[in-house]
Structures are given as structure tokens and as C-alpha cells.
Amino acid sequence: MKQEYNTKQKEYILEYLRANAQTHVSVGDILAHLHAHGREVGTTTVYRYLDRLCRSGEVRKYVIDETSGACYQYIADTDECEKHFHLKCTRCGRLIHVDCAYLGEVGRHIGEHHRFTVDSSKTVFYGVCEACAEK
């Protein structure tokens, strides 16, 4: 089995992800932050490490639509996204986690009456967020 080494670059990436665990971040966000703090990390390194973190279950990758790049969220040992739905603003691109009993009932209804299991971690409702609607 190939030995995985911890490098400073990986530590910087993981540090950023942990500090932004409540946010969905892109590879561009990570690179911009690291470069702004004088931490030179290559794009390929970020992608490779994110892939590894996704495989290990520490990070969740979201691919919301075919026109947006993927975003990532540090989740570590939590399974929060398996228990709620997501809202995607079609204007600003914001992804919002929604923990709502009513939507949970919708998921149960679909399972019981339509014999289909909804994966809420990948279920996204598209629309316009409050901030964009006010503009």
C-alpha cells in the first residue's frame, strides 16, 4: 500500500477547510486564500488532496449543475448532509442547507408511496434566495 505523506501544503488545505466547515468552497476559493497568505500550493495538489479527503469521508463534494464547478465542504465525522436538503440560488449561486421536518416528510412520503429512496445529500431545490429577491 502506498504511504501517504502529510505535507505543509496538505496541512494548509485542511486548515482552510476546517475553518470554513460551515461553507461550501471551490478550488478557486482555496487557492485564493492560500495565495493571499503566501502559501504557494498548486492547483493539481488541491484537486488531488480534495479527492483523497472525499474518498476518506472527511469532505463532501457537491456538483450542483452542469454549468458550475464543484464545491466542497469539510464534514469529518458528521453526517449532517445526509439528513437535510439543499436550496441553490440561481442568481448568486449560494447553496443553503435546509433542515426542515416538512421536507423530511416529503422524503418519507416518496419512499412509502412511490417506493423510491431520496438521497437528501444530493437533493437540490433551485430558486432565488431572499437576498437576491430583494435586489
Q: How far is CA 121 from the centre of its chain?
A: 10
Amino acid found at 30: I
| pLDDT at residue 73, rounded to an integer | 84
pTM above 0.85, yes or no: no
Strands (E), the chain: 59-62, 71-74, 85-89, 95-98, 124-127
| pLDDT at residue 35, rounded to an integer | 95
Alpha-carbon distance of 123 to 113, in angstroms, equals 18
Domain 79-135 has CATH 2.40.50.140: no
Domain-by-domain residue ranges, the chain?
1-77, 79-135
* Average confidence (pLDDT) per 10 residues, the chain, 135 residues: 66 92 87 94 94 89 75 71 75 80 88 91 85 92
Alpha-carbon distance of 34 to 32, in angstroms, equals 6
| pLDDT at residue 103, rounded to an integer | 84
| pLDDT at residue 39, rounded to an integer | 92
Mention the CATH class of domain 1-77: mainly alpha
**Who's near 35: CB < 8 A, 6+ residues apart?**
41
